[in-house]
Amino acid sequence: MSLVHVHDLNVSYGARTVLSRVSLRIDKGEIVTIVGPNGSGKTSLLRAIIGAVKPAAGHVQRAEGVRMGYVPQKLHIDETLPMTVARFLKLSGHVTAPQINEALTRAGLPDVSRAQLSKLSGGQFQRVLLARALIGKPDLLLLDEATQGLDQRGSAAFYQQIEQVRQDTGCAVLMISHELHVVMSASDRVICLNGHVCCEGTPAVVASAPEYRALFGTGTGGALALYRHEHDHHHHHDDHTEAAE
Amino acid sequence: MLDDFLIRATLAGIGVALAAAPLGCFVVWRRMAYFGDATAHAAILGVALALAFSMSIFVGTITVALVMALTVSALSGRGYAMDTLLGVLAHSALAFGLVAVSFLSGIRIDLMAYLFGDILAVSRGDLAVIWGGAALVVALIGWRWSALLTATLNEDLAHASGIDPRREQLVLTLALAITVAVAIKVVGVLLIAAMLIIPAAAARPLSRTPEGMALMAAVIGTLSTVIGLRAAFVLDTPAGPSIVCIAALSFVSTTLVSSLRRAA
C-alpha cells in the first residue's frame, strides 16, 4: 500500500486551472523529486497532499495513520514574534529535550536550541525546519524547494542530509526542486510536472525524455550534459504559464 | 473592599489587561492592529442598538463586534486591499454608531463614557462581567495556544500538522469580540486597540519566547493600570487615557533600553 495515492487530481484557483488529472503514488522509503518550470503547479500539488488546498476534482488518498513532515518553501518569522529554536520544535506537541537534540543532530545542526530563530543563517534555518519535520517521526517527508536561498554547496549538503535521514529512518521523501543536477542523483524517481505529469521515471529516463528537455532545454547544469541530444518534438503549455506557484 | 470605587476600577483594569495581553500578542504577531480597531469602533454601534432595544450593553457590543470581526475575516484574502477595507469599515462603523446614538433622543447617554471609558463608575456587576469575559478569553487562547502559534507562523505548516488556520482565526476573532465588549467600560472604544497593542509591543524587547512575551505584556498592562489610575487620581486626569499613557511610556522605555543594549 502506498503512503500517498493521488488520483486524477485537479486543482484550480478561481477560473484558473493549475493542475489537471495528476496521478501519482509515493511508496514507503522512496525519494521522489518533482521538477517543473515556474507556475507548473508543483507547490499546489504539495499543498493538496498536505490538505491545504481542496481538489477541484479527483482526490488525495493518504494511508491510514500516515505521519507527514512538511518543510515549507520559506518561512518568514515576523520580528515581533520571539521564538527560540527549542520552543519552535516543541510547537508540534509534547517533545522532550533529548528528542530536540536528536532532531537537531539528525538535521545536521549543532545545539542551537537556545538561539532565536530570527538570528539563524539561511542554511541553519532550513535545517531547523527539517528538524521540526523530523521530530514527529514522519513516514513521509515533504520538502518544497527547501534549499532556496542556499548556495550550491549548501544545498548539496542539505540534500545529502536528506539522503542520510532516509537511510537512518526509512521515511519516504517527496521534494520539489529547481536544482535538478543536485537532486537527481539522490532521487529514486523523478516526476516532471507542467500542469499535468509530463513524464516520470528514474532520473536518467526523465533527463533524456523529450518532454523534459522541451521544458528545461538541454543545458540545465553540468550533470545533464550526459543526456544532451536534439529535441524530437515540441511541447506547448501556454495555458499553464501564469498559474500560481 | 469592593465598596471602594478605586479598587473596583483597578480590578476592572487588571481584568482587561490580563485578557488583552495574550490576545494583543497575536494582534501584534499577525499584524491585526487595524483589525482590532475596526472591531472596537463597531462596538459603539452595538451600544446604540443595545440602548434602542433595551438589551444589556455587553450583549449589544459583543454581537456587533463579532459581526464586524467575522465580516473582516470573511473579506480578508479575497483580493481587497486590506488596509483600505479596514479603514472603510472601522470608521464607517464608528460614524454609523455615533449617528445611531443621536437618534436615541429619549435616553440621555453620556457618549464620552463609551468613547473613552468610565472606569471609575464600574459596578460590582460590571466587574463580574469583565472578569468572566477575561477568564473566557484567557481560557480560549490558552486552550488553542500551540495551534494558534503554528497557524501564525505558517498556514501550510499548520495544515500539515492537522490544524485548520481558518478555525484558529475564528478563535482569535471570538476572543477579540469578547475583549472589546468587556473593555468598553474600562478604556472606551477609541482606546481598546491601544490596550491590546501597546503592552504587547512594550513586552517584545524583553522576551525570548511567545509565552514570555504574553506574560510580560500582562505584567506591563497590569502595572499601567495601577499606575495610570493612581496618576489619574492625583493629577485629576481622565482614567482610561491615563492608563494608555503609562503603557505608552513603558513602550518607549523598553524600546530605548533594548536599543541601548544593542548598541553597547
pLDDT in tens, A166-208: 998 899 999 998 767 777 777 889 898 888 998 888 888 887 8
For B195-239, the pLDDT digits (tens) are 999 999 999 999 999 999 999 999 999 999 999 999 999 999 999
Whether A228 has a pLDDT exceeding 60, the answer reads no
Give me the residue from A50, A75, A84 closest to B159, CB to CB. Answer: A50
Q: Residue B110's pLDDT is what?
A: 76
Mean pLDDT of B162-166: 89
Give me the residue from B149, B154, B159 closest to A75, CB to CB. Answer: B154
pLDDT grade, residue A149 (50/70/90)? Answer: confident
Would you call B28 an interface residue with chain A, using a CB distance cutoff of 8 Å?
Answer: yes
- Based on the fold, state whether residues A81 and A190 are members of the same structural domain: no
Using an 8 Å Cβ cutoff, are A213 and A224 in contact?
A: no
**How far off is chain B from A78, nearest CA to CA, in Å?**
7
Residue A84 lies in a domain: yes
Q: Residue B105's pLDDT is what?
A: 66
The count of domains in chain A is 2
Residue B224 lies in a domain: no
Residue A50 lies in a domain: yes
C-alpha cell at A241: 504559464
Residue B70 lies in a domain: yes
Residue A245 lies in a domain: no
Q: Is B160's CB within 8 Å of A52's CB?
A: yes
DSSP-assigned letter for residue A137: -
At residue B141, what are phi and psi to the nearest 5 degrees? -70, -40
The count of domains in chain B is 1
The C-alpha angle with vertex B172 and arms to B170 and B177, in degrees rounded to 5, equals: 95
Using an 8 Å Cβ cutoff, are A236 and A196 in contact?
A: no
Q: From edge to edge, which strands make up the β-sheet containing A68-71?
A: A68-71, A140-144, A172-176, A31-35, A189-193, A197-201
Residue A12 lies in a domain: yes
| Amino acid making up residue A207 | A
Q: Residue B80's pLDDT is what?
A: 67
Q: Is B153's CB within 8 Å of A69's CB?
A: no
Domain containing B131 equals 5-190
Using an 8 Å Cβ cutoff, are A34 and A175 in contact?
A: yes
Question: What CATH number does residue B15 fall under?
Answer: 1.10.3470.10
Domain containing A100 equals 76-137
DSSP-assigned letter for residue A56: S
Strand, coil or helix: B219? helix
Give me the residue from B150, B156, B160 closest to A91, CB to CB. Answer: B150
- The label of the residue with cell 495574550 reads B22
Q: Dihedral of the CA atoms A72, A75, A81, A86 (nearest 10)?
A: 50
**Buried residues in B9-39 as b, exposed as e (16+ CB within 10 A):** bbbbbbbbbbbbbbbbbbbbbbebbbbbbbb
**How far off is chain B from A80, nearest CA to CA, in Å?**
6
Q: Strand pairing partners for B60?
A: none
Residue B54 lies in a domain: yes
Provide the phi-psi class of A33: left if phi over 0, else alpha when psi is between -120 and 50, else beta.
Answer: beta
Residue B10 lies in a domain: yes
- Based on the fold, state whether residues A167 and A201 are members of the same structural domain: yes
- Based on the fold, state whether residues A88 and A205 are members of the same structural domain: no
Q: Is B161's CB within 8 Å of A92's CB?
A: yes
Which burial class, exposed, middle or buried, applies to B252 when counting CB atoms under 10 A from its CB (0-12, 13-18, 19+)?
exposed
pLDDT grade, residue A27 (50/70/90)? Answer: very high
Q: Is B153's CB within 8 Å of A75's CB?
A: yes
Is the C-alpha dihedral spanning B169, A124, A110, A103 positive or negative? positive
pLDDT grade, residue A153 (50/70/90)? Answer: confident
- Based on the fold, state whether residues A177 and A231 are members of the same structural domain: yes
Query: Which residues in chain A are closer than 8 Å to B28, comparing Cβ atoms?
Result: 80
Q: Residue A21's pLDDT is what?
A: 92
Whether A238 has a pLDDT exceeding 50, the answer reads no
Tell which of A137, A153, A177 closes a domain: A137
Residues listed for chain A: 245
Tell which of A88, A121, A137 closes a domain: A137
Q: Is B156's CB within 8 Å of A47's CB?
A: yes
Whether B79 has a pLDDT exceeding 70, the answer reads no
Closest CA to A132 of A82, A70, A193, A219: A70
The beta-carbon contacts of B208-211 under 8 Å, at least 24 apart in sequence, are B208/A82, B208/A84, B208/A116, B209/A82, B209/A83, B209/A84, B209/A87, B210/A81, B210/A82, B210/A83, B210/A87, B210/B25, B210/B29, B210/B149, B211/A87
Q: Is A70's CB within 8 Å of B29's CB?
A: no
Q: Residue A237's pLDDT is what?
A: 47
Residue A205 lies in a domain: yes
Question: What CATH number does residue A180 fall under?
Answer: 3.40.50.300
Query: Which residues in chain B are closer than 8 Å to A72, comparing Cβ atoms?
Result: 154, 156-157
For B80-139, the pLDDT digits (tens) are 677 788 888 888 888 988 888 888 766 666 778 888 888 988 999 999 999 999 999 999
Smallest CA–CA distance from A89 into chain B, residue: B150
